[in-house]
Amino acid sequence: MFEQAKEMYASIGVDVENALEVMASTSISLHCWQGDDVRGFEAGATELGSGLAVTGNYPGRARTIDELRQDLELVLGLLPGTHRLNLHAIYGDFGGKSVERDAIEVGHFQSWIDWCKAEGIGMDFNPSCFSHPKADDGLTLSHPDKGIREFWVRHCQASRRIGAAAGEQLGSACVTNVWIPDGMKDLPADRMSYRQRLEQSLDAVFAQSLNKAHNIDAVESKLFGIGSESFVVGSHEFYLGYAAKNQTALCLDAGHFHPTEGIADKISSVLMYVPHLLLHVSRGVRWDSDHVVLFDDATQAIMQELVRCDALGNTHIGLDFFDASINRIAAWAIGTRAAQKSLLLALLEPRAQLLEAEAERDYTRRLSLLEMSKALPWSSVWEEFCRRNEVPGELTLLEKVKTYESKVLSAR
């Protein structure tokens, strides 16, 4: 089936082997927080807060670093290609000790860096400015209280240093992404002062210059959250401006816009003004619900734009979803593979023909080509990619997860 597919694609000018090479060299950053419902390993960790919510109580949640690593090792074995780990600061190896967020050091993450090295993968990092008493007002870097602001500035500064150490040790730049929950449930009387303070805090966070080969700074906007329905300090406009002005990376989370607003169309605009793009591929259902990513129109459109804009080189693809109502390993694997399948479909587009039709203003042919490419045997190419990487194909994926569930997860 693969050989037939390859010939069929060749007949419309698509080089399947080239597509598979790009697939092999495009890594997805696996968000550690799908494995334990965004709890982390801080001593006496509090409830998930700051507008983040995980629903479901499926058995088998990773409760320790060892369990999370064991689960991640299984997930990595279910994904074709080489990927990365995206770690939040609350997942440090604190050895049961309580370590304040502004006191985290590289040492607390050394065992993760070592684990990544052993797995042969890169690492990305995130300060965790949520689920903490000092975030209970719904404000962190923009808080009117100088002491609280500075506490979070120190946390973000420490996070960048940890990111840079990971990047240096692993020989691959770490993307350190700052997302904060700051906002208000009801109408603010003074939006401007919060945004001015956020800018000042971010300037302090990014003041230390770090080697860009080790650390890439990113900022993530949001439209609204639970408890910040009327006002989010770090809105899209705020961060687009900040990232363009300061030449940081911009993170576009697929769930952080109006429900019918996709992020695909933003990619070509954003990349004209910022050096790097970070994606949080996610799926919002009616709100920023962080459902498991699917092989759906929105995800396919994102990947199409990355390919069409030749943007894979300066885009960092991360995932951001958390579903505790189904097997968490399956959620990780299904979501990541959906992003990968979408990328493959985009790479198999009859690009030359599409460009030709567009140049000739033959939009009938353009539309017809787009529909035709959906009907081509891309799935045979996907199965071949899985086979070459010695990971399960679509028919056997769930079997592997279920075996692990009955052997390992059910004993937790």
Question: What residues act catalytically?
Answer: 179, 220, 222, 253, 256, 280, 288, 290, 320
DSSP class of residue 264 equals G
332-361 footprint of ligand RNT as x/- string (CB under 6 A): ------------------------------
Q: Min. distance of Cβ 256 from ligand RNT in angstroms?
A: 6
Q: Min. distance of Cβ 359 from ligand RNT in angstroms?
A: 39
280 forms part of the interface with ligand RNT (CB under 6 A): yes
Which of 26, 126, 159, 299: binder of ligand RNT (CB under 6 A)?
A: 126
Say how many CA atoms lie within 13 Å of 232 toward its Cβ.
23
Neighbours of 140 (CB within 10 A): 28
Q: Which option in ligand RNT, Zn ion, none does residue 222 bind, with CB closer than 5 to 8 A by kind?
A: ligand RNT
In the complex, which residues of this chain contact Zn ion (CB under 5 A)? Answer: 253, 280, 320
Tokens of 22: 């790009």
Q: Which residue is nearest to ligand RNT (CB)?
A: 179
Answer whether 297's CB lies under 8 Å from 266's CB.
Answer: no
The interaxial angle of helices 110-119 and 65-76, nearest 10 deg, is 20
Q: Cα-atom radius of gyration of the chain, to the nearest Å?
A: 21
Which of 19, 29, 33, 323: binder of ligand RNT (CB under 6 A)?
A: 33
Say how many CA atoms lie within 13 Å of 61 toward its Cβ.
18
Residue closer to ligand RNT by CB (options 273, 287) is 287
Q: Min. distance of Cβ 228 from ligand RNT in angstroms?
A: 10
Of 282, 198, 267, the C-alpha closest to 238 is: 198
End-to-end CA distance of the chain: 41
Q: Which option in ligand RNT, Zn ion, none does residue 36 bind, with CB closer than 5 to 8 A by kind?
A: none
Q: How far apart are CA 277 and CA 315, in angstroms?
A: 5
Which of 305, 320, 383, 384: binder of ligand RNT (CB under 6 A)?
A: 320
Q: Which residues contact 180 (CB under 8 A, 6 or more apart)?
A: 129, 130, 140, 141, 142, 152, 198, 233, 234
Cα-to-chain-centroid distance, residue 250: 12
Distances in whole angstroms, Cα of residue 121 to Cα of each of 37, 78, 295, 403: 23, 15, 25, 25
Residue closer to ligand RNT by CB (options 90, 345) is 90
Residue ranges in 136-165 that form contacts with ligand RNT under rule CB under 6 A: none
Residue ranges in 202-221 that form contacts with ligand RNT under rule CB under 6 A: 220
Q: Which option in ligand RNT, Zn ion, none does residue 340 bind, with CB closer than 5 to 8 A by kind?
A: none
Residue ranges in 220-239 that form contacts with ligand RNT under rule CB under 6 A: 220, 222
Residue closer to ligand RNT by CB (options 9, 179) is 179
Q: Which option in Zn ion, ligand RNT, none does residue 71 bind, with CB closer than 5 to 8 A by kind?
A: none
